[in-house]
Structure 1
Amino acid sequence: MIPAPRQLFNAAFSPQRYQEMLADINQQFPGQLDFSVAETPVFVPAGLRDKLIRAGQDIIRVIQQPTFKQLTEGAIPDGQRVPKEDEHAEFLTFDFAVCRNNAGELEPQLIEMQGFPSLYAFQAYLPELFARHYPIAESVSPFIDVPDSDAYKAALKNLILAGENPENVILLELFPERQKTRIDFALSKEYWGIEAVSLPDIRKRGRQLFYEKDGREIVIKRIYNRIIFDELARYPDLNPEFNLTDEVDVTWVGHPNWFFRISKYTLPLIFSEFAPPSYYLHELNTYPADLENYVLKPLFSFAGAGVRLHITAGDLDALPDKHNYLLQRKVKYEPVVQSPDGLVKCEIRLLYTWPPTAPEPQLVAGLARLSRGEMIGVDFNKNMDWVGGTTPLFEK
């Protein structure tokens, strides 16, 4: 999207060089990369960058309003409310499709949002990897409100550890060794010294939690949470000693309740030129006349599960649980990333951190995904090249 950096990169690109980059990842972190890394970064021009920033600010204004918790009480499912919720989310991630408006300009359109940490460690690593294997123009940067990688890592360290000994802070997941995002866990350990611990491995005595490391039992004081109830529901016989809803003496870094409050459930509350209209399905007395231009999304699902792109009024009438769905107006992704054989669609995720005492979230970096399929995501881009997760590099 920025011609000079794109031309510089594409002139240096070759399939062999890309395979060498993937081999470099595997050499550093054997067997840890389990998702598709795209062949290229995304070069984001200043005009689109500024619109992304404005779009994020529109959403943040909604999240900061005094009534936000009241408006999102219904987002937390029965039996999944976790005690000791903090005043605000410590992580915000907003997903935007890159589109073209009526004036022919590129603009973001909101697709989804999460009050949940994304690949914050990997997004510090990936730009360095690209720069090691390709010429990257000095006119772009992966960071926005922080100057460089060291400052980024330091900010995340302060947020996650808050001065605690790293061994008393864990990254909580369910079977982390099986997760497709496990390379991010390995990098979190490298950068911040925290272990990825599986929920069944946690021991509970009274209100205290422990895990075992090198034959020692270590008390847990802070939990960097990467676990979601949606996945827990797949293991009804798990029966761990610690349930997320237990009253325990830990501090959550990324409290689980915010995963629900800032989610698809929040989309109908957002009114912005960069947010397509969204409606709670059960609140609609009549459906939009142009229903073919809407997508049906389950409110309480993860990673695109259950999204339906093609729906009829009959499909909606047949749903027994309309209160679990929303309608969102479709957006048209604009193919904008120049590959060797044509243009590719793109989605950009903004990554924010929001320390407990900070008045405002800080936009620290981004994540991007390339797609040639009908939707963004691995299942819609199988056996294709120049697709997958990557890093946005913003014009300085």
Structure 2
Amino acid sequence: MSPALRIGAVGFGLIAVCYGLARFAFGLFLPQIDADLGLGSSVAGIVSGGSFAGYCVAILVSAALTQRFGARAVATLAALVAGIGMAGIALAPNPILLAVSVLVAGASTGLASPPMAAAVVAAVHKDRQDATNTTINAGTSMGVAVSGPIAFAMAGQWRLAFGAFAVLAFALAVAAARHLPQARGQRRVPGTLPRFDSAMLHLVAATFLTGAASTALWSFGSQLVAQRLAWETAASAALWSAIGAGGIAGAMAGKLVARFGLEHVHTTFLAVMALSIFAVGSEWVPASAALAGGSLFGGAYVTLTGVYLIWSVRLLPDRPATGLTIAFLMLAVGQTAGAPLFGWLLAELGSNAASAVFAGIAIVAGSFGKFHRLLPTTRKTEDVSCTVAGP
């Protein structure tokens, strides 16, 4: 098997497990977990925010770990952390241990992306790197898509589901240890932090608000349809599959930016995200629109992560890794803040108000995209959106 196929297959599985299962599947099973452990919307938001907080911490140390220990070791560690976190979720007897386990599981996502990027650069021929990275990046949506049918097949047994996910993560750890190269990241160049001028602050604001808005469905999508429509597990699983399936289409972000421009794609897909949040959460929208809203959300979210990759590389063309880290870190910080806020609004004001507020947050995020016109535009952007798996 060629290095591109080997690394692509392992990376696809690793990203699917860490992002699709360890991080985002919690939202799918939240109604069942809430029923068993009595979390309530506010506590559920805090617990869910822990997953995004884990990402924030892990992404700050993953690049350094990759430089020191190599891609194979850190990717293996990411799979092990995902497995430990999901095993903890499966066994959690109370909300406190559940919160700790969710944080650990979420940390695996921050650990996973830098070593995979290093492995591709080190071992895959340059003309195959874009295709390999595209394959790896698709893992997030695939993991989300398959978690829905798994939830349906296990008939509400969330502990059994997370136990199975943990076993899969440990299997990926073995695969990473056997098949990934012992590649280290590029040597770090000493330097100061980038200048936080108006253009950088606009990127920070846009990514923070987009991350916050996305938690309406990443953390509470299943709970929204359960409360609003009294749907059973089968329909909640269908919503999750729709989100994942829609996300696969988001791999076209680079081509859309090349054709229509960053500002138009950014503004349009934030409007789509706002519409999708409202469609799933608001009682004013027909129930039949919920699944369509989930699919739109998946496509919008993955497209927007591609937009922010392109934007951040344009902003710091001489330090692309720094730009990517800032953009994706702020997405996760926004998600960390957004989940508890949405949970509180849901508990205090109901789904109509909570969905309207978070749809509004997505619209506001779109107002910060105009500053990209001050940035360099000479870099090719067609495939940048596929180079790193986003949060």
TM-score when normalising by structure 2: 0.24
Question: Whose helix proportion is higher, 1 or 2?
Answer: 2
- Structure showing greater radius of gyration is 1
TM-score when normalising by structure 1: 0.24
Question: Whose strand proportion is higher, 1 or 2?
Answer: 1
